[in-house]
């Protein structure tokens, strides 16, 4: 029986959903599949043993057009190997060329360590910040993503090559943007604060993937290692955590992807004026 290990990072659930879809996809082809959270590897100092697997996958979201800093940290801790086959999947608010170069820095890092990234794919379910899609749109994107993940698993098993590319101009611009946002988002995370509704339950501290949140003198504090995953903002039972300046980042009515996709919705609820530009192409084009 062939085997695959999937390391993933998910802030508010989109990438976790896709990681579980990938697990199911490989399992359908009789692969033995292990799925591991990147934050668990780093927090618990788990051994990164990739040699015993036929394939290695990494999944994470697109943040600031690039890679969450926690994923950089994970990749830096990965062992050197010799010609290990690897695939990458990403989740984003929209599947568009502006995000196609987002994996380029880690592909380069991985290649220097002996990993051969031969397949890359990007999926969209929703945006969990600034502008939330209508719930029917989210559900339709989820359904399309389920189909696309199954296609990805088949193509990866068949050894098909797929690397997202853009023109040199956009590539240069986005590399520059990524180099800036990588350092800006931890600073933006410092803008977070807990208001008087906070009950000091400690959930945000325990769940923070980068250990960025702590309590001091009876107050919840935020450090400089935030990766802007928004988990603390949306999981707080009292909705006590928000930005002081960047208040527009947070979706006012919260974000719970599992609750959204579990609701019965129909196509008649689609408001054509609120459909994201990539939507129709994404749900109809399996190669996207």
Residue 268, pLDDT > 80, answer no
Question: In angstroms, rounded to a whole number, what is the distance separating the alpha carbons of residues 208 and 204?
Answer: 6
- Are 148 and 92 in contact by the 8 Å Cβ rule? The answer is no
- Are 70 and 32 in contact by the 8 Å Cβ rule? The answer is no
The 3-state secondary structure of 31-59 reads CEEEEEEHHHHHHHCCCCCCCCCCEEEEE
* Alpha-helix runs per DSSP H in the chain: 14-27, 38-44, 69-77, 104-112, 135-157, 168-189, 203-207, 231-235, 257-261, 279-284
pLDDT of residue 2: 95
Question: In angstroms, rounded to a whole number, what is the distance separating the alpha carbons of residues 139 and 133?
Answer: 10
Residue 272, pLDDT > 70, answer no
pLDDT of residue 188: 87
Fold held by 3-168: Rossmann fold (3.40.50)
Percent with pLDDT over 90 in the chain: 67
Bridge partners of 63?
A: 66
Q: Which of 71, 97, 86, 98 is nearest to 8 (CA)?
A: 71
Residue 84, pLDDT > 90, answer yes
The stretch 130-144 carries a mean pLDDT of 89
The stretch 204-226 carries a mean pLDDT of 93
Question: In angstroms, rounded to a whole number, what is the distance separating the alpha carbons of residues 141 and 154?
Answer: 20
The stretch 230-243 carries a mean pLDDT of 93
**Cα separations (Å) of 222 from 198, 205, 213, 215, 216?**
14, 10, 5, 9, 10
The stretch 165-173 carries a mean pLDDT of 89
Question: In angstroms, rounded to a whole number, what is the distance separating the alpha carbons of residues 152 and 129?
Answer: 27
pLDDT of residue 179: 84
| Average pLDDT along the chain | 92
Question: In angstroms, rounded to a whole number, what is the distance separating the alpha carbons of residues 147 and 156?
Answer: 15
Question: In angstroms, rounded to a whole number, what is the distance separating the alpha carbons of residues 198 and 215?
Answer: 12
Fold held by 185-258: Alpha-Beta Plaits (3.30.70)
The stretch 58-84 carries a mean pLDDT of 94
pLDDT band with cut points at 50, 70 and 90 for residue 123: very high
| Residue matched to tokens 């919260």 | 254
Convert the pLDDT of each residue in 13-69 to its tens digit: 999 999 999 999 999 999 999 999 999 999 999 999 999 999 999 999 999 889 999
Is the pTM above the cut of 0.85?
yes
Pairing of strands 84-91, 241-243: unpaired
| Domain ranges for the chain | 3-168, 185-258
């Amino acid at each position: 029986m062939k085997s695959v290990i999937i390391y993933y990072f998910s802030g508010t659930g989109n990438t976790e959903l896709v990681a579980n879809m990938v697990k199911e996809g490989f399992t359908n082809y009789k692969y033995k599949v292990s799925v591991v959270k990147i934050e668990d590897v780093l927090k618990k100092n788990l051994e990164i043993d990739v040699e015993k697997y036929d394939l290695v996958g990494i999944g994470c979201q697109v943040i600031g057009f690039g890679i969450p800093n926690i994923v950089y940290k994970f990749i830096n801790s990965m062992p050197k190997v010799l010609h290990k086959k690897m695939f990458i999947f990403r989740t984003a608010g929209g599947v568009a060329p502006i995000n196609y170069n987002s994996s380029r820095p880690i592909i380069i890092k991985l290649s220097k360590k002996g990993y051969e990234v031969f397949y890359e794919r990007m999926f969209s379910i929703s945006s969990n910040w600034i502008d939330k899609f209508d719930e029917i749109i989210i559900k339709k994107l989820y359904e399309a993503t389920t189909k696309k993940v199954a296609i990805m698993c088949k193509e990866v098993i068949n050894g098909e090559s797929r690397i997202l590319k853009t023109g040199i101009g956009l590539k240069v611009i986005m590399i520059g943007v990524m180099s800036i946002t990588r350092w800006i988002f931890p600073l933006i995370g410092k803008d977070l604060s807990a208001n008087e509704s906070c009950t000091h339950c400690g959930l945000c501290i325990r769940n923070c993937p980068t250990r960025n949140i702590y309590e001091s003198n009876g107050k919840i504090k935020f450090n400089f290692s935030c990766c802007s995953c928004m988990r603390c903002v949306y999981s707080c039972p009292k909705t006590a955590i928000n930005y002081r300046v960047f208040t527009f980042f947070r979706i006012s009515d919260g974000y719970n992807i599992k609750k959204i996709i579990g609701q019965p919705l129909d196509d008649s609820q689609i408001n054509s004026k609120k459909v994201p530009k990539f939507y129709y192409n994404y749900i109809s084009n399996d190669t996207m």
